[in-house]
Amino acid sequence: MTLMIRTRRYLLAASALGLLVAPLSLTVRRATPPQSAVVLQQPAGPAPVVAASAPVRAAPPAPVTQAGERSAYIVQAATVDAARSAVLRVGGLVTGELDIIHAVGAALDERELIALRDGPIPGLRVFEDTAVKASSVTGALPETYYPTEVAASDLHVGGVTGRGVTVAVLDSGLWSQHGPLQNAAYQTSNRVLAQYDVILAQQQPSAYKAPFLETYSSNIDDPFGHGTHVASIIASSGVATTGRFQGVSPGVNLVSVRVLDSTGTGSYFNVIRGIQWVVNQRARYGIRVINLSLGAPPHSPYWQDPLDQAVMAAWASGIVVVAAAGNMGPNPMTIGAPGNTPYIITVGAVTDNYLPLQAKQYQLSTFSSAGPTYEGFVKPDVLGMGGHIRAYAPNNGTLAQKFPQWVDTANNEFTMSGTSQAAAVVSGVVALMIQVNPLLTPDQVKCRLMSGAHPAVKADGSLAYTVFQQGAGLVNAHDAVYSNASGCANQGLNVALDVAGLKHFGGRANRDANGNYYIMSTDTASSASASGGLLGALGLGGLVPVIASIPLVGNLLVGIPLVGDGLLWGGDFASSTGYTWSNGYTWSNGYTWSNGYTWSNGYTWSNGYTWSNGDMSVDSSTDAGVPRQE
């Protein structure tokens, strides 16, 4: 009995204690957040609405902010501060800063991601953060260096790989073993969107169905090897032992158009037909860039040359055309067609002298063709790395069989020099620019590419090479991608009128009585004609003499060179090194040396001149048939 009474007293005491402790327990639970401090960063406005509409038993709506549901992203804006603020504003976590690309790393759930993309943040771009993870992976392939030498590798780390941009390579085809060209960086799907064999289509008209029925998915192969090499420079997603990509824009999509045969030669007809096919298919495959690593000597004014007309039409359609300058340097006036077309981006070559990443050892390649053009335009526009360029290529192609000493059989790679390779480097840079700014027009791309280039400068601050040799300088992917320059390319030109045959243009280059090339000064008060210079009575490179007096509509002063920028050139070549490829050089006259002026209607070329049938060849440097590596 006594035991029973004591038991009841203990139970009553325990119950009383439980009643006292329960409120304290509830208070502690309410004071403890169900998540980490991230919840405090969520917008306060929408939360009560969601909670009020939910049943009482579903009171904790915390799944919206579950940290485990967040994914990694790279958020880019006009500045790092703007990107950081945008992430924090929607309640996301900032995981780090990427100053080099004006971005931050971020952890976002689906709701935060939607809110971020819907926010009115100027220049906001969001990338899945797969690039950072993969770039730390060490591959087994050799380092190619040129993506780093043009400042593209740092962009890859930030997710700028050319993703979503399609480059059409008109060349000798694409090896059926696609290797590092099969898949883009961080993707598993086939990024070779189409292959079209112009030579096959000409030989066998029934080889392809009607365009709306044809998939263009059959392999066209590359019996020569040059086309695969060029495409690999642009797009290889192979990862080197350093963890860097081997290609300049490893995320691009590719379209391969075969216009050259197994010996690397072709005809104007096939190249033009290839350009025509690309223009017709540009919307279907999202083609934004054409790479033309080929050329032929010019035999008429650019506006009368069929190949130049075709590339002008492509440019007018919204496609950026990148072409090799040619390998007839270092002599002046050796730019080939279609590189002599004033509108497009024409590329000369730089070598690192087998001392990679040591910019003061870089040098203009001796084979790189120089301007000006016969119409007086400054070419090349820019330079790209073009000496001893390593890239994936077929081990059974004509080039590999003819020059086995340049073949890396273990990795199926070939080493080649030329403005072909330099043009491919620049095409890759252009793809990076378009990924970041998809609305850029071809003229805007050219302007920003030139404004971001680094010219070679001597210790005294003067140019080491003239604009006729280096144009605006060596391309820099980072500076081109983030350039805000405008109105600095193709000023005074009108491609629509040019294509229509209504108006044609000449440049500001001329040559004095001593054989020096210079840029004509301008005078707002008078107009002068260009007589006796480049465009007067010259019979160079197979061109027939033209009339002695060729007026240019525009206020140009013949015989009076533009002051500054070291523009007077006697045609000599400087073989020394030690120059600084400077991003701090200020052009004293802007880029006015690239402007165009309307030709007088009275100007005509000889009607009796018959030019060649337009045989084409690749623009890889050769010396008696052997690639000359620089």
Annotated catalytic residue within 102, 156, 226, 229 = 226
226 counts as catalytic: yes
| Burial class of residue 85, CB neighbours in 10 A (0-12, 13-18, 19+) | middle
358 strand-pairing partners: none
Annotated catalytic residue within 420, 427, 483, 620 = 420
Q: Calculate the alpha carbon distances from 544 to 272, 295, 338, 506 in Å.
A: 25, 20, 19, 18
CA separation for the pair 536, 603 (Å, rounded): 10
Q: Looking at this protein, which amino acid is placed at residue 496?
A: A
CA separation for the pair 628, 630 (Å, rounded): 6
Helices 419-436, 226-235: axis angle to 10 degrees equals 40
Q: Give the pair of three-digit tokens for residue 267.
A: 């005809």
Q: Is 509:371 a contact under the CB 8 Å cutoff?
A: yes
Q: Quote the strand ranges of 236-357, DSSP E.
A: 253-258, 265-267, 287-292, 294-295, 320-324, 345-351
Q: Give the pair of three-digit tokens for residue 129.
A: 């953060």
81 counts as catalytic: no
Instruction: Transcribe 413-474 into DSSP letters.
Output: EEEE-BHHHHHHHHHHHHHHHHHH-TT--HHHHHHHHHHT-B-EE-TTSSBSS-HHHHTT-B
Annotated catalytic residue within 171, 352, 443, 498 = 171
Q: Is 393:177 a contact under the CB 8 Å cutoff?
A: no
Q: Is 481:473 a contact under the CB 8 Å cutoff?
A: no
Residues for the chain: how many in total? 630
Greatest extent of the chain over all pairs of C-alpha atoms, in Å: 136
CA separation for the pair 583, 561 (Å, rounded): 25
CA separation for the pair 422, 74 (Å, rounded): 30
How big, in percent rounded to 5, are the helix, strand and coil portions of the chain? Answer: 30, 20, 45
Q: Is 142:180 a contact under the CB 8 Å cutoff?
A: no
Cis before residue 455, ω within 30 degrees of 0?
Answer: no
69: three-class secondary structure by DSSP = helix
34: three-class secondary structure by DSSP = coil
CA separation for the pair 373, 540 (Å, rounded): 11
171 counts as catalytic: yes
Which residues are catalytic, by number? 171, 226, 420
